[in-house]
């Protein structure tokens, strides 16, 4: 693995720009959603992909400069996929000197037994992985679970739910698990995937491919990714505007009867109309 110090002057300039942008977006997300508090023990879920490597890198840097004191624990779930390079993550984490743990659990066999050949295994695999990680966090006094989902992941999920699920729903930057026992944080929630890609390339992380299980690609998510990529190229700023809309919800301007009391709306005959206010102001 090459060091950043090996970069040319121009590459170092570009690296510093993307690193600064990453730290800025992560810092903003953490502050906006109060993701990290004094005394937290944060479990960083490390898959071996660019997103989780970047998340760990940024949090390690933040740990040195943040005004609050918190622990980091890197955790990987070895699901026993064929040809999984078991040595890669431990060797990398040893070089960082960060506390870590590898959970070994053969969820791969369970998934292959349950899901018919040729169908995508991601949904079941994700549920099994989540349950295992939640259980480990609870048993080891973890206060926050950090996941590597970024802004593009959130937007892809938002459009998937609209087009295929009939819901206005995405992935929140901070979440209380259904069992109320774990708080999940996504510090990369404001971060663009293309910044993560550039940062990971500069850092030369030892990437582990996510297709070791032989699962087919999620074609619906791929379609959302391609749609967003086209928009980003043709209409710069559109994705930023859409993400901002997720933070500016007006329930009374939608149509969810459970979210807003449309059924019981009443006129207020004594209310002063806008035009009357104008007259009073004269």
Burial 241-278 (b: 16+ CB within 10 A, else e): eebeebeeeeeeeeeeeeeeeeeeeeeeeeeeeeeeee
Cα distances (angstroms) measured from residue 139 to each of 71, 136, 142, 158, 278: 16, 5, 8, 32, 63
Supply the pLDDT for residue 8: 85
* Interatomic CA distance for residues 56 and 60, integer angstroms: 6
Which fold, 4-253? Rossmann fold (3.40.50)
| Mean per-residue pLDDT, 194-217 | 83
Model pLDDT, residue 15: 93
At 211-236, the pLDDT tens digits run 655 555 678 889 999 999 999 999 99
Pairing of strands 144-146, 41-45: parallel
* pLDDT tens digit sequence for 82-108: 888 889 999 999 999 999 999 988 877
Site of tokens 């992941």: 153
**Residue where the block lists tokens 């990987």:** 76
Residue 134: is its pLDDT beyond 70? yes
Residue 280: pLDDT over 80: no
Average pLDDT over residues 166-186: 94
> Distance between CA 210 and CA 32 in Å, rounded?
31
DSSP 248: S
pLDDT confidence bin for 2, thresholds 50/70/90: very low
Higher pLDDT, 216 or 145: 145
Q: How confident is the model at residue 127 (pLDDT cuts 50, 70, 90)?
A: confident
Reference 20, options 58, 52, 71, 60; nearest CA is 58
Q: Which residues pair with 185 in a beta bridge?
A: 146, 174
Of the pLDDT bands very low, low, confident and very high (cuts 50, 70, 90), residue 116 is: low
CA 76/CA 201 separation, integer angstroms: 21
Pair of tokens at residue 66:
């943040």
- Distance (Å, rounded) from C-alpha 177 to C-alpha 187? 17
Give the per-residue pLDDT at 179: 86
CB 18 within 8 A of CB 50: no
**Would the pTM of this model clear 0.75, i.e. be above it?**
yes
The predicted model gives 123-138 an average pLDDT of 82
Which residue has tokens 């999984």?
Answer: 84
Strand, coil or helix: 168: coil
Mean pLDDT of 206-212: 79
pLDDT digits (tens, 9 = 90+) for 179-190: 889 999 999 999
Highest mean pLDDT among 130-134, 145-149, 264-268: 145-149
Tokens of 131: 């349950």
């Amino acid at each position: 693995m090459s060091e950043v110090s090996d970069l040319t002057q121009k590459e170092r300039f570009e690296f510093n720009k993307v690193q600064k942008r990453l730290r800025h977006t992560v810092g903003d997300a953490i502050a906006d959603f109060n993701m990290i508090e004094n005394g937290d023990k944060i479990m960083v879920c490390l898959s071996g992909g660019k997103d989780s490597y970047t998340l760990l890198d940024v949090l390690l840097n933040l740990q040195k400069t943040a005004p609050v004191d918190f622990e980091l624990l890197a955790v990987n779930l070895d699901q026993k996929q064929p040809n999984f390079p078991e040595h890669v993550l431990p060797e990398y984490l040893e070089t960082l000197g960060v506390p870590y743990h590898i959970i070994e659990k053969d969820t791969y066999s369970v998934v292959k037994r349950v899901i018919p050949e040729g169908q995508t295994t991601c949904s079941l695999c994700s549920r099994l992985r989540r349950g295992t990680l939640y259980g480990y966090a609870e048993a080891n006094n973890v206060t926050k679970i950090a996941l590597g989902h970024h802004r593009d992941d959130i937007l892809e999920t938002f459009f998937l739910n609209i087009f295929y699920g009939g819901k206005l729903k995405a992935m929140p930057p901070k979440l209380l698990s259904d069992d109320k026992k774990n708080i999940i944080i996504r510090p990369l929630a404001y971060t663009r995937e293309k910044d993560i890609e550039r940062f990971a390339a500069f850092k030369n992380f030892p990437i582990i491919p996510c297709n070791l299980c032989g699962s087919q690609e999620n074609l619906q998510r791929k379609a959302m990714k391609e749609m967003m990529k086209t928009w980003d190229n043709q209409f710069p700023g559109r994705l930023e505007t859409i993400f901002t809309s997720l933070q500016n919800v007006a329930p009374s301007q939608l149509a969810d009867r459970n979210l807003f009391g449309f059924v019981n709306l009443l006129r207020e005959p004594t209310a002063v109309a806008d035009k009357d206010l104008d007259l009073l102001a004269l």
